[in-house]
Amino acid sequence: MDVSQYLEIFIDETKEHLQSLNEQLLVLEKEPENADTINEIFRAAHSLKGMAGTMGYKTMQELTHKWEDVFSEVRNGKMKVTPDLVDVLFKGLDKLENILDNIINAGNEGDDKCEEIIGQLIAFVQNGGSGAAAAPAAAPKKKAAKASAEVAVATETKAESGDASKEKFRQFKYADFEQHAITKAIDEGTNAFGITVYIQESCLLKAARAFMVFKKLEELGTIAKSEPAVQDIEDEKFDLDFSMVFLTKESAAKVKEAIMNVSEVETALVAPLSKESVEAATVKDENAPSEAAAQTAAATETKPAAAQATAAASSGKPVVNRSVRVDIEKLDDLMNLVSELIIAKNGLVSLNAQQDEANHTAGNAMGPQIEYLERITTNLHQSVMKVRMVPLESVFNRFPRMIRDVSKSLNKKINLVISGEETELDRTVIDEIGDPLTHLLRNAADHGIETAEERAKTNKPEVGTINLNAYQEGNNVVIEVKDDGKGIDVEKVKKKAIDKGTITKEQADVMTDKEIIDLLFRPSFSTAEKVSELSGRGVGLDVVKTNIEKLGGDVEVRTVLGGGSNFIVRLPLTLAIIQSLMVEIGNEKYAIPLGSIQTIEDIPVSDLKYVQSKEVIHLRGSVIPIIRLNQILDIESTKGEDENLTVVIVSKGEKLAGFVVDNLIGQQEIVIKSIGKYIDSPKMISGATILGDGEVALILDVNTLV
Amino acid sequence: MAEAVKAAANNVESKQYIVVVLGSEHYGVDINYIDNIVRMQSITRVPKTQTYFEGVINLRGEVIPVMSLRKRFGLEADEITGKTRILILKPEAQGSIGIIVDSVKEVLTLSNDSIDKPSAKGADDDKTNFLTGVGKNGDELVSILNIMEVIQDKEEDE
């Protein structure tokens, strides 16, 4: 049997287990005595060992086995968790992650046999707790287990008749050729055993376990018959047990031990079969019909037993996880279909409007139906979007470990506080956001937080704090990385920028602090080799910015010298379909994402003021710069000079700006499409969309325009 | 079609080309690149992009950029007539692009040996780089376009 079909499940589950190990180890580091955590780690290591063994990943199995050893000692109070041990365990965890990466990318475990880590773990087990006695202690235990197994086999053999209902192999009906093979083997002095193996109910890879059992047994002898047939077992067409007739030179105890070594095997019943019993159960060809009858009888017999077993087990069963794993590509397809549906719907809407106009009637029978359709497509879109949403937790949960490592290597005390990890984002965004965030967090730990001594001098608590916070704000998700470190020294940045020739002295003089800090996101800044000498950031911040902008988001910094910095990342909730305001400039139509629109104002030309020869308006206490879209987009405005201005007030974070447009068309749900390869996409255009009448309209990128 | 059969019979490697007209010249486009030929339709202008791009069109739900071959070759602007067509090319799986031509004439099969390589490359002549050779169709000459060169080259002043 090929185990590759289980590879995906294996990878997913291993990832989950490794993540849980990571989290639990972090807890353990803080509370070395926490019994729940120790148990949790033991269980995770045990499951990992079993899974790795099933899949044939020897190094992984070996390593997790050692983990299990360590924690079994800890659990029994023979060993204490020390910081050294935690370090080695973390290293081991990294190895396991490497192995998993290798398995994912190369299909094998890689060459690293992890001997060093394994050796260290063994040393811990030997030296920890009751000293050198610990290691040998494990061996006798195994022997004892073996002995008890033998006893169990012996008693089972004696109590043969009593346990007959569980020993399903006794219900076997043998075909002629099978009987011949078995009796011939017995005549030759080989042992024939009837075996029934019960697999634990919690087992997920039943077929794989069965396969392991078969594999082990085939090392020891031959399987003469199995029930259900091998093919059915491979296809997982069996409940929790399977039976077989096994021919071997080995003893019953050895056979049993081999089976029990496969993890997640509940019990294995092994009993010798006599020539007579096999002969008695053999079905001769002539009474084939009765064979069928006997089989149905046997089947009905087994069924109630199975039913009983499940009934008995159901009381202790955990709540069934009512979820389905779906390939992201299928969701993409679904999203595309929804997009097309919305375009088609928009077509209907505009057709209907045209007809109304032509007939000079407001509303016909189509109207309500189209509105209904509109509601459905909007809901459908939202549902599909929700399906694609993943909580940020899956990204955030790797950070505590990272901060721990960084703080150890930098010798700083850092406390990472995570909140809002339940905030959800589109899967494609989640996949891409990990690296930029890692970068920001590293920066905060490396350049932001001061050393304990420095902190003491400035009357700050010894332990620095990094806050990682996520929340939803309108159509955006905001992620903040905030530290209480030393902040960014604007003067130093300015000096550096002038030195590097990024800006001239004259430019620097008129730049606001904010503009200076934004220089950190310039590509030229990241290549500086000694950036960390600056009080700030700058290492690869341009990459962070480009990555986030690729996702349609933006990043902003707020900093207080001596008080810390706050990097604010804003991301769109969804990438594919948005609500937008359609506007007209000249005779062209453009879409402005509704999420960034604050208000729409009608401004008399006389209200325009000039600040540094730029047009601004004064609106409810704030000064808002005016952007004449027709100039930026090279369009001739259809409006006269002295007509009132229609101004769409948009926001990017706290920054506001007013877009001057000629006409407002209305709100519309639009599907974002790329404007295609080969054409140079101007920065202020974030994409295109297809309107109801089949025309293409461009979508304005508020983030670059403001 | 007859030519195709003939060429196949002669067992000479040959290709099919769509012959398009641009002013007084005839150009051949390898048929393998062509996804579709559509009539002129309304084009949405894209500001601040290469000057030879007219904008984008909607082709059955896909947004496709469209360039003017005339502008690309530095000729006078297109005069839209009933014969004007947009050739939709699909050089790669992920990207389509449209090029506007005055009209589409015919499908032509040319064997590889009947195409002359362009004479010594006039380094100054931009158009020469866009051609892979010149084929003969009866009395007429057909310039074979190097599609990848036409669509990928950015503006010189960039």
pLDDT at residue B147 tops 80: yes
DSSP code of residue A535: S
Using alpha carbons only, give the angle A502, A507, A513 rounded to the nearest 5 degrees: 90
> Cβ atoms within 10 A of the Cβ of A515, count?
14
- The number of distinct structural domains making up chain B is 1
- Please state which of the ranges A465-469, A491-495, A526-530 shows the lowest mean pLDDT: A526-530
Q: How much is the average pLDDT of A271-283?
A: 73
Residue of A nearest to B59 (CA): A694
Has residue B89 been placed in a domain? yes
The alpha carbon of residue A538 and the mean position of all alpha carbons in its chain are separated, in whole angstroms, by: 29
Give the distance from residue A343's alpha carbon to the nearest chain B alpha carbon, in angstroms: 8
Instruction: Establish if A636 touches chain B: CB-CB under 8 angstroms.
Output: no
Instruction: Establish if B63 touches chain A: CB-CB under 8 angstroms.
Output: yes
Instruction: Provide the residue range defining the domain that includes B20.
Output: 2-152
Chain A environment of B149 (Cβ under 8 Å): none
Class of domain A328-390: mainly alpha
Express each pLDDT in A278-304 by its tens digit. Answer: 777 766 544 444 444 444 444 444 444
Express each pLDDT in A184-204 by its tens digit. Answer: 777 777 788 888 888 777 777
Q: Collect all residues with Cβ–Cβ distance below 8 Å to A686 and sequence separation of at least 6.
A: A552, A672, A699, A700, A701
Express each pLDDT in B49-92 by its tens digit. Answer: 888 899 999 887 788 999 998 888 888 887 888 889 999 998 87
Residue of B nearest to A673 (CA): B63
pLDDT at residue B113, as a whole number? 78
pLDDT at residue B6 tops 70: no
How, if at all, do strands B25-30 and B140-145 pair? parallel
pLDDT at residue A321, as a whole number? 60
CB A328 within 8 A of CB A427: yes
Has residue B46 been placed in a domain? yes
> Cβ atoms within 10 A of the Cβ of A315, count?
6
Give the distance from residue B60's alpha carbon to the nearest chain A alpha carbon, in angstroms: 9
Q: Would you say the C-alpha torsion A483, A486, A492, A496 has a positive or negative sign?
A: negative
Of the ranges A31-45, A96-110, A681-695, B34-48, the best mean pLDDT one: B34-48
Q: Which CA distances in Å does B99 have to A269, A671, A700, B12, B26?
A: 76, 25, 25, 30, 15
Residues 16-45 of B with CB under 8 A from A: 42, 44-45
Quick check: A685 and B46 CB within 8 A? yes
**Distance between start and end Cα atoms, chain A:** 61
Question: Which band of pLDDT confidence, cut at 50, 70 and 90, is reported for residue A602?
Answer: very high
Has residue B90 been placed in a domain? yes
Has residue B60 been placed in a domain? yes
Interface test with A, best of B58, B90, B148 (most A CBs within 10 A): B58
Has residue B34 been placed in a domain? yes
Superfamily covering domain A392-572:
Histidine kinase-like ATPase, C-terminal domain (3.30.565.10)
Q: Would you say the C-alpha torsion A659, A661, A663, A665 has a positive or negative sign?
A: negative
Residue of A nearest to B58 (CA): A696
How, if at all, do strands B53-59 and B95-101 pair? unpaired
Domain A151-305 has CATH 3.20.20.70: no
Instruction: Establish if A681 touches chain B: CB-CB under 8 angstroms.
Output: yes
pLDDT at residue A283, as a whole number? 62
The helix/strand/coil state of A236 is: coil
- Please state which of the ranges A114-118, A430-434, A531-535 shows the lowest mean pLDDT: A531-535
Class of domain A3-129: mainly alpha
Has residue B157 been placed in a domain? no
- Inter-axis angle of helices A328-359 and A366-388, to 10 degrees? 160
Quote the CA–CA distance of B145 and B133 in Å, as a whole number: 8
Task: Find the CATH number of the domain harbouring B106.
Answer: 2.40.50.180
Question: Which band of pLDDT confidence, cut at 50, 70 and 90, is reported for residue A468?
Answer: very high
pLDDT at residue A331 tops 50: yes
How, if at all, do strands B14-22 and B103-111 pair? antiparallel
Q: Which two tokens stand for residue A233?
A: 């077992």
Q: Would you say the C-alpha torsion B35, B39, B40, B41 has a positive or negative sign?
A: negative
Residue ranges in A458-512 assigned as alpha helix (H): 490-500, 505-510
The length of chain B, given as a count of residues? 158
Residue with tokens 């003067």: A491
Q: Selecting from 1.10.150.120, 3.40.50.11540, 3.20.20.210, 2.40.50.180, what CATH number does the domain A577-705 have?
A: 2.40.50.180
Mean pLDDT of chain B: 80
Chain A environment of B57 (Cβ under 8 Å): 696
Instruction: Establish if B46 touches chain A: CB-CB under 8 angstroms.
Output: yes
DSSP code of residue A133: G
Instruction: Establish if A187 touches chain B: CB-CB under 8 angstroms.
Output: no
**Phi-psi category of residue A430: left, alpha or beta, with phi > 0 → left and psi -120 to 50 → alpha:** alpha
Using alpha carbons only, give the angle A205, A210, A212 rounded to the nearest 5 degrees: 95
Chain A environment of B151 (Cβ under 8 Å): 678
Sketch the domain layout of chain A as residue ranges: 3-129, 151-305, 328-390, 392-572, 577-705
